[in-house]
Amino acid sequence: EVQLLESGGGLVQPGGSLRLSCVASGFTFSSYAMTWVRQAPGKGLEWVSSIGGGGGSGGSSHHADSVKGRFTISRGNSRNTLYLQMNSLRAEDTALYYCAKGYSDLSRASLQYWGQGTLVTVSS
Amino acid sequence: QSVLTQPPSASGTPGQRITISCSGGSSNIGRNTVDWYQQLPGTAPKLLLSSNNQRPSGVPDRFSGSKSGTSASLAISGLQSEDEADYYCAVWDDSLSGRVFGGGTKLTVL
């Protein structure tokens, strides 16, 4: 059974940093693309970042324009863990952050499984 | 404003067939396949359809999808109360080099 468990969310001041983690189990983590998607309170889904699979430290990464230069996606295949380093946080980054597994090693692959999310609140 | 346009709401009665549209452009729907996600109240999203019309294991055949040009649609037949949820279309955008989601459609079963 595929499981994705996010952690690392919390309350942070504007301009601060957080690192989210997503521990995966039930599949060969290194072989699949992984994605972060966020959902602001009462709003729709917003893609944040994706990273390809295929071995090593991971494939190519992609970030939404809204987070480019501030957020960095990475993966630790030996630990079956996906990360999102978030710097220079803004109030508009407040959201529930979901980790999702792709159908294949390509970043553009459908999001086959989702975690339950971790809440990030940016406020002074 | 989302790159993909969905109606904000839809409704139907039990047993009815409804459709939800998703309109995009040449760099996204026009070039790539469309996924649909279902988000039941208070839960994480779930993949409903991939590659325009492929149902993952466990998804009833009441759900179907289609794509034509730069638009896609989700159809739900034999509407049931448990289908009440938010539905999102999504696709990879080659110009943005990223995934885009529609704004979501809230389905109400009357």
Q: What would the mean pLDDT of B45-50 be, rounded to a whole number?
A: 98
Tokens standing for B59? Answer: 């998804």
Residues B11-38: pLDDT tens digits? Answer: 999 999 999 999 999 999 999 999 999 9
- Asked whether the beta carbons of A5 and A101 are under 8 A apart, the reply is no
pLDDT at A119: 98
Residue A9 is inside which H or E element, if any?
A: none
Confidence of residue A120 (pLDDT cuts 50, 70, 90): very high
Q: Percent of chain A beyond pLDDT 90?
A: 95
3-class SS of residue A29: helix
Q: Percent of chain B beyond pLDDT 90?
A: 98
DSSP letters spanning A46-109: EEEEEE--SSTT-S-EEE-TTTTTTEEEEEEGGGTEEEEEE-S--GGG-EEEEEEEESSSSTTS
Q: What would the mean pLDDT of B100-109 be, rounded to a whole number?
A: 98
* A5 part of contact set with chain B, CB < 8 Å: no
Q: What would the mean pLDDT of A41-48 be, rounded to a whole number?
A: 97
- Asked whether the beta carbons of A51 and A75 are under 8 A apart, the reply is yes
B58 vs A contacts (CB less than 8 Å):
none
- Residues ≥6 apart with Cβ < 8 Å to A37: A45, A46, A47, A48, A97, A98, A100, A111, A114, B45, B101
pLDDT at A56: 53
Q: What would the mean pLDDT of A84-112 be, rounded to a whole number?
A: 97
Instruction: With a cut of 60, say whether residue B56 has pLDDT above it.
Output: yes
Q: What would the mean pLDDT of A90-111 be, rounded to a whole number?
A: 97
Confidence of residue B94 (pLDDT cuts 50, 70, 90): very high
pLDDT at A52: 95
A114 vs B contacts (CB less than 8 Å):
44-47
Identify the closest residue of chain A to B56 by CA–CA distance: A112
pLDDT at A59: 77
Number of other CB atoms surrounding residue B1 within 10 Å: 4
pLDDT at B106: 98
pLDDT at B1: 77
B35 vs A contacts (CB less than 8 Å):
110-111
Instruction: Report the candidate in A8, A98, A68, A69 with the shortest Cα–Cα distance to residue B98.
Output: A68
Instruction: With a cut of 90, say whether residue A55 has pLDDT above it.
Output: no
Burial class (CB in 10 A: 0-12, 13-18, 19+), B61: exposed
Confidence of residue A58 (pLDDT cuts 50, 70, 90): low
* B90 part of contact set with chain A, CB < 8 Å: yes
